[in-house]
Amino acid sequence: MTISEYASKLSLPQVNPGVTTVLEYLIIKFPYINAQIWQQRIADGKVHWHDGSLITDQSLFQAQQRVYYYREVESEPSIPFKETILFQDEHILVAYKPHFLTVTPGGVYVNECLQNRLRRSTGIEALQALHRLDRVTAGLVMFSTNLHTRNQYHDLFRTRKILKTYQAIANISGDEKIIGQTWEVKNRIVHCEPRFRMCVVEGEANSHSVIRCLQQSDHQALFELNPVTGKTHQLRVHMQTLGHPILNDNYYPNLKALSADDYSAPLQLLAMKLQFNDPVTQLPRRFSYESHLSLS
């Protein structure tokens, strides 16, 4: 059994969903975790309030109060790729995340994630991711290192005042000539079945990306992607919309059978630039990571 070194937290909703105790809420909040596991975690003192006082199986639901718990899994894979810190000051840290590493704990990963790796290497326990990348996507991730200025950096993403640039490789047909071509993709994407996939449906657009072809070979092309919004799997779905699903994508256009990670064939998607005006220092910021994507 692997137990997270750091607590995960959730805020109880303002509207009570019809429960009496915190335990009842945790059971309905996480339907894929057996109720007996939550009962045991509480009995072992692994669930507590913000002030550190323990939650018992009789603790009453309290709207908008924070609950802390420690994720645990039977067996946690080790990801054999290293992150790199590119910048750090008293407010933020920018790091390169390799393919296959999660940003924060999720699924079978509790300690083996970028956030917890960086907490261990820097000693900054307050370090927290300001945005996310898919586990299979590589590239730049920005973290807050200062609780007092965190909301100002969160607002950059919430108000879309940060420019994010990605690159991706996709297959093309031999007769396509698309270098320099630009597409503005706007559509409505929602969760479909299974829930971890997204699909395009009719209705008002809630996603927006600008995509441009930079290079092409006989059968592949290199694209620059600028997401305006930040929906789950947005760029992967938008590339599929163009008829150019990203190379080595196991979700789009078709869901492939679950299998072990193939480290020799990572998703060809890289978050390579972050640009914004720093809300604390008022300085223009530009962080980049040299692309390792290449056409064959």
Q: Tell me the mean pLDDT in the region 211-216.
A: 97
**CATH code (residue 181):** 3.30.2350.10
Whole-prediction pTM: 0.88
Q: Select from 41, 73, 105 the last residue of a domain.
A: 73
Q: What percent of the chain has pLDDT above 70? A: 100
**Helix spans in 98-250 (H):** 114-122, 150-158, 234-241
Q: Which of 137, 162, 187 is the last residue of a domain?
A: 162
One domain, residues 91 and 67: no
Q: What does pLDDT average to over the chain?
A: 95
- 3 pLDDT tier (thresholds 50, 70, 90): confident
226 is a domain residue: yes
Same domain, yes or no: 218 and 176: yes
- On whether both 89 and 130 belong to a single domain, the answer is yes
Q: What is the pLDDT of residue 83?
A: 98
Is 288 among the domain residues? no
Residue 283: inside a domain, yes or no? no
Name the more confident of 242 and 4: 242
Is residue 113 one of the residues assigned to a domain?
Answer: yes
Same domain, 18 and 97: no
Q: Are residues 126 and 174 in the same domain?
A: no
Where in the sequence is the domain holding 27, given as residue range(s)? 2-73
Residue 286 belongs to some domain of the structure? no
Number of alpha carbons in the 13 Å side-chain half-sphere of residue 267? 27
Position 141 in a domain: yes
Same domain flag for 41 and 139: no
pLDDT value of residue 228: 96
Cα 86 off chain centre by: 19
What CATH number is given to the structural domain containing 52?
Answer: 3.10.290.10
pLDDT grade, residue 78 (50/70/90)?
very high
The more confidently predicted of residues 74 and 275 is 275
Which band of pLDDT confidence, cut at 50, 70 and 90, is reported for residue 65? very high
Same domain, 103 and 50: no
Q: How confident is the model at residue 1 (pLDDT cuts 50, 70, 90)?
A: confident
pLDDT for residue 75: 87
pLDDT at 174: 79
Where among 105, 138, 162 does a domain terminate? 162
Confidence at 71, pLDDT banded by 50, 70, 90: confident
pLDDT of 23 reads 97
Query: Once rounded to an integer, what is the mean pLDDT over residues 55-69?
Result: 96
Residues 176 and 260 in one domain: yes
Band (225; pLDDT cuts 50, 70, 90): very high
pLDDT average, residue stretch 252-264: 93
DSSP β-ladder status, 163-171 and 284-288: unpaired
Instruction: Give the pLDDT confidence of 264-273 residue by residue, as tens digits.
Output: 999 999 999 9
How many angstroms separate the CA atoms of 96 and 290, rounded? 10
CA torsion through residues 123, 126, 128, 130, sign: negative
Distances (CA, A) of 118 to 84, 172, 210, 231: 9, 38, 32, 25
DSSP-based three-state secondary structure for 97: strand
User: Based on the domain organization, do 139 and 175 belong to the same domain?
Assistant: no
In a domain, 40, yes or no: yes
Residue 130 sits in the same domain as residue 120: yes
Tell me: the pLDDT tens digits for 20-60? 999 999 999 998 889 999 999 999 999 999 999 999 999 99
pLDDT in tens, 105-123: 988 898 999 999 999 999 9
pLDDT tier, 296 (very low <50, low <70, confident <90, very high otherwise): confident
Tokens of 171: 């297959």
Q: Which two tokens stand for residue 96?
A: 């390169």
How many distinct structural domains can be found in the chain? Answer: 3
**Model confidence at 145: pLDDT above 90:** yes
Residue 275 confidence (pLDDT): 98
